[in-house]
Structure 1
Amino acid sequence: MSRLDVTEKIINTKVTKGLSWADVAKKVGQSKEWTTALCLGQMTATPVQAKVLGKIFG
């Protein structure tokens, strides 16, 4: 999968599940701005954060 494919999957899953960036951020343990940038491919997740995101969007 390309980064664009992953970003599209994240956004589609977020919308389908009715999640806000704030909801995701709370689970990741960061601000909604940082988490949004992370999910759009502009930041790097720690292994723990990546696992949380995998559970949310996987």
Structure 2
Amino acid sequence: MSRLDVTEKIINTKVTKGLSWADVAKKVGQSKEWTTALCLGQMTATPAQAKVLGK
């Protein structure tokens, strides 16, 4: 799976579940800005953060 595929999947899931970036950030335990950059492929996640995003 490419980075673009992962980014698209994250965004589609966020929209489908009706979540905001702030909601995702709370679950990951980071700021909204950092989490948005992470989900758009501009940052890297720890294994624990990646596990949270996968849910």
TM-score if structure 2 supplies the norm length? 0.94
Write the deviation string for residues 8-31 of structure 1: whole angstroms up to 9, x where unpaired: 111111000000000000000000
Unpaired runs of 5+ in structure 2? none
For these two proteins, the number of residue pairs brought into alignment is 55
Task: Please state whether the residue corresponding to 2:38 is helix, strand or coil.
Answer: helix
TM-score if structure 1 supplies the norm length? 0.90
Percent identity of paired positions between Structure 1 and Structure 2: 98
Unpaired runs of 5+ in structure 1? none
The two structures, once aligned, show a CA RMSD in angstroms of 0.6
Write the deviation string for residues 12-52 of structure 1: whole angstroms up to 9, x where unpaired: 11000000000000000000000000001111111111110
